[in-house]
Amino acid sequence: MELPERLRGRLDQLRAMSEAGTITQVVKRAVTLYDVLLSAIRNRRERIILRSADGTERELLIP
């Protein structure tokens, strides 16, 4: 798959951060996560809340 240089660089950073073996694994994980989040928000009407170490919370909004 041909990707713009900037996107390929970011995917490579994510690969290293997540210890994935390949960029393909990064993309598969990303699609799986996106599916889980959308299903929770749209099908089950759940909210995704991110909580930082200091207890601050914010809702993750996915259009």
Question: Does residue 1 carry a pLDDT above 80?
Answer: no
Q: Can you give the residue range of the structural domain that contains 16?
A: 5-60
Helix (H) or strand (E) holding 51: strand 48-51
Measured distance CA(22)–CA(24) in Å, rounded: 5
Q: How many domains does the chain have?
A: 1
Which one-letter DSSP state was computed for residue 30? Answer: H
Question: Tens digits of per-residue pLDDT, 18-47?
Answer: 999 999 999 999 999 999 999 999 999 999
Q: What is the pLDDT at residue 63?
A: 82
Return the amino acid letter for 35: D
| Mean pLDDT of the chain, nearest integer | 95
Instruction: Give the mean pLDDT of 6-17.
Output: 96
Measured distance CA(29)–CA(25) in Å, rounded: 6
